[in-house]
Amino acid sequence: MTASPLPPIVLDHPLVQHKLTRLRQASTSTAGFRRLTRELSLLMCYEATRSLSTEPVGIETPLERMEGRQLSGKKLCFVSILRAGNGILDGMLDLVPAARVGHVGLYRDHDTLEAVEYYMKLPDDVAERDCIVVDPMLATGHSAAAAIDRIKASGVRTIIFVCLLAAPEGVACLSARHPDVQIVTCSIDRGLDEKGYIRPGLGDAGDRLFGTR
């Protein structure tokens, strides 16, 4: 029996929606786009790590001894889907600097819209870690699903996918192929156009991050 897919988490926090609106604007500069993406990645990381387990730990404050909480269990690995995923990765590492990092290089064939892999590098102990996979856009879902196929083949069992924007088609594709993967996004937009771009979207995230548009 196939498990029911996890429903996507859409972040409706006022700060998220304000920054996303500014990110979408065509007039936002490359520097502004990078800054806003980094700020949004911090807010998305906060939500994506909400379910991390903690354990008690005794500490000394300047005034007395107390019992606090610290992270326990598996450690984190952030996996960036190249190249645009690196725009989200930087902000997440600001929040969790001890996390390990992996990269999966994929590009979308413009004729078939299927994902083609050209690079993959994961930490040796990735199977012992919880993974947060990052890519700004979940459009057709083929690239995300292909990346997660490879990550699961390395033994990883707990994966969260984080993106700025998603299309309903991408959510459906990823949920069908990986119903156990939680999707965290700032918005699920109207849909895809004939070229596979999210509408209304924000344009090509990679080009806007790296000034190659």
Average pLDDT, the chain: 92
Rounded CA separation 149/60 (Å): 45
pLDDT in tens, 51-99: 888 999 999 999 999 999 998 877 899 999 988 899 999 899 999 999 9
- In order of their start, the domains of the chain are 9-49+75-210 (3.40.50.2020)
Catalogue the active-site residues. Answer: 108, 112, 204, 207
Q: Residues comprising the binding site for uracil?
A: 198, 203-205
Report residue 162's pLDDT band, with 50, 70 and 90 as the boundaries: very high
Residue 1 clears pLDDT 60, i.e. is over it: no
The Cα-based distances of 44 to 59, 163, 185, 186 in angstroms read: 29, 8, 7, 8
pLDDT of residue 6: 93
Neighbours of 172 (CB within 10 A): 14
Contact 165, 189 (CB under 8 A): yes
Which positions make up the binding site for 5-phospho-alpha-D-ribose 1-diphosphate?
83, 108, 135-143, 204
Find out whether 48 and 160 touch, Cβ atoms under 8 Å: yes
Judge whether residue 108 has pLDDT over 80.
Answer: no
Annotated binding residues, as ranges?
83, 108, 135-143, 198, 203-205
pLDDT at residue 113 is higher than 70: no
Grouping H, G, I as helix, E, B as strand and the rest as coil, residue 59 is: strand
Average pLDDT over residues 110-116: 71
